């Protein structure tokens, strides 16, 4: 049985797709896996801010279209790149065991006043400025290797990337600090790889699903989806296994609201209300 895995063509995306392929081969002796690289809007436009080219979903839309069109059987995503609700006709068939969900500071071992830091993420920008308002946050796009190179070329003091991606690429030596996930709350799903399938075809990937990762990531996604319904501010959510911590903030870091609890929807409602009062 041939299973076509759709993936972005970046080095990290292909490494993650290979993790998915290897997992499927281990549990499905009847499966032959083929990788199908697909270029997304986020890959084509590497200069404009994410908000100008579609915000969340810019790295998944074309993969989802390929699934719906029948050109691939499974789409492999960084779960943090997915929208907080499933596209019509699709579902997450499996989450691979989550790796380090934290954000990583590359180029320095700590934040210091006046540092120039590169990131294209409004979530990271807001939380960094809340920790140290004197930072200069500069836009930085590109794949992991490109952003590491641009840090050196532009003389930036540091950049912020997902620790899991650096680990998967063998670049953990670039990390000076892994932020506490309550200090810098990660993107929902960060560190997890999601295998998306057409609705009703979950059996294609179900055997490699990690139930604990699914429990945590789905709680994070549900919380962010609920907040996003009435809030345009940067949002984040992280479940540590027992407690869900979520955040909304001003892009300039002038206010940050965190809440922790066990009910994703109640937590989201409290944060959305706080955002409306402070915005």
Q: Which residues are catalytic?
A: 81
- Please tell me the chain's helix, strand, coil percentages from 3-state DSSP, rounded to the nearest 5: 40, 25, 40
| β pairing state of 2-7 and 175-178 | unpaired
Structure token pair of residue 192 = 């997890």
Q: Which residues of 148-171 are buried (b: 16+ CB within 10 A; e: fewer)?
A: bebbeeeebbbbbbbbbbbbbbeb
CA distance linking residue 72 with residue 88, whole number of Å: 16
CA distance linking residue 214 with residue 219, whole number of Å: 8
> Helix, strand, or coil here: 263?
coil
CA distance linking residue 114 with residue 273, whole number of Å: 33
């Amino acid at each position: 049985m041939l299973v076509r895995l759709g993936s972005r063509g970046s080095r990290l995306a292909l490494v993650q797709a290979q993790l998915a392929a290897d997992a499927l081969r281990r549990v499905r002796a009847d499966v032959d896996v083929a990788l199908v690289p697909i270029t997304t809007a986020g890959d084509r436009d590497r200069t404009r801010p994410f908000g100008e080219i579609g915000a969340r979903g810019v790295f998944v839309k074309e993969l989802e279209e390929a699934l719906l069109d029948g050109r691939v059987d499974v789409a492999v995503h960084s779960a943090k790149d997915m929208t907080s609700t499933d596209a019509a006709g699709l579902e997450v068939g499996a989450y691979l065991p989550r790796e380090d969900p934290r954000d990583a500071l590359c180029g320095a071992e700590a934040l210091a006043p006046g540092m120039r830091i590169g990131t294209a993420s409004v979530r990271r920008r807001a939380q960094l400025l809340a920790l140290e308002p004197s930072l200069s946050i500069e836009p930085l796009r590109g794949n992991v290797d490109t952003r590491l190179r641009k840090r050196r070329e532009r003389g930036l003091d540091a950049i912020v990337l997902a620790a899991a991606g650096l680990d998967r690429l063998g670049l953990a030596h670039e990390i000076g600090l892994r932020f506490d996930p309550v200090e810098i709350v990660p993107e929902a799903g960060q560190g997890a790889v999601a295998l998306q399938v057409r609705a009703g075809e979950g059996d294609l990937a179900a055997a490699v699903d990690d139930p604990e990762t699914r429990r945590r990531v789905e709680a994070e996604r549900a919380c962010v989806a609920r907040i996003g319904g009435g809030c345009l501010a940067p949002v984040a959510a992280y479940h540590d296994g027992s407690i869900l911590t979520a955040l909304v903030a001003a892009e300039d870091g002038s206010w940050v609201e965190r809440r922790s609890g066990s009910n994703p929807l109640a937590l989201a409602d409290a944060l959305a209300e706080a955002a409306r009062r402070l915005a």
